[in-house]
């Protein structure tokens, strides 16, 4: 799937004030009061500005921080990182590689068994695409990530669920 994921004036004009503040002005939304921190549905998360695929629910975990957290991006080149020294500490900012949207920050305190990274993202920078809508929304290439997921419900199929 080859796409041009740059920000356009039209895409920027469709953002809510919160989405614009986060993605364009490097803002941060409140913890535990954002759309995806507690989302457990199967699917992918894309850049709200450009639609660029960024993260998968298969790599999402509850970090206890109140923001959606992932162990890794869908592809290494989906995001860029840069040093952010704006607050009291040195952090690593994460941006989408296509539209250069501010997404959040990455920390090295994630689950060790999954590589040790915590990509702590702002929900306002993301749009969630459920498994059942991947093809319809042009993300069918990612369906393979969810082979054990029921496309009608987005729930994982397991031996316990099959009985």
Q: Which of 103, 120, 121, 129 is catalytic?
A: 120
Decide: 127 and 85 in contact? Cβ < 8 Å: no
Q: List pLDDT tens digits, range 27-78.
A: 999 999 999 999 999 999 999 999 999 999 999 999 999 999 999 999 999 9
pTM: 0.88
CA distance 36 to 52: 17
Write out the two tokens for 78: 């989906």
User: Residue 73 corresponds to which tokens in the numbers above?
Assistant: 């991006």
For 11, the 3-state DSSP assignment is helix
pLDDT tens digits, 87-146:
666 789 999 999 999 999 999 999 999 999 999 999 999 999 999 999 999 999 999 999
Query: Where do the domains of the chain lie, and which CATH numbers do they carry?
Result: 9-133 (2.170.150.20)
120 a catalytic residue: yes
Q: How far is CA 59 from the centre of its chain?
A: 10
With contact defined as beta carbons under 8 Å apart, do 101 and 152 qualify? no
């Amino acid at each position: 799937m080859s796409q041009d994921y740059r920000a356009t004036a039209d895409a920027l004009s469709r953002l809510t004030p919160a989405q614009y503040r986060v993605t364009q002005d490097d803002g941060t939304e409140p913890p535990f009061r954002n759309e995806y921190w507690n989302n457990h549905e199967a699917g992918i998360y894309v850049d709200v500005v450009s639609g660029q695929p960024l993260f998968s629910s298969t790599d999402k975990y509850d970090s206890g921080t109140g923001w959606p957290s992932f162990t890794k991006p869908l592809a290494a080149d989906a995001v860029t990182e840069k040093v952010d020294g704006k607050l009291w500490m040195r952090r690593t900012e994460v941006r989408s590689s296509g539209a250069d949207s501010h997404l959040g920050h990455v920390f090295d305190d994630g689950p060790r068994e999954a590589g040790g990274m915590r990509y702590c993202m702002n929900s306002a920078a993301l749009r969630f695409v459920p498994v059942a809508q991947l093809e319809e929304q042009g993300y069918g290439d990612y369906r393979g990530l969810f082979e054990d997921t029921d496309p009608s419900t987005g729930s994982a199929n397991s031996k316990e669920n099959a009985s």
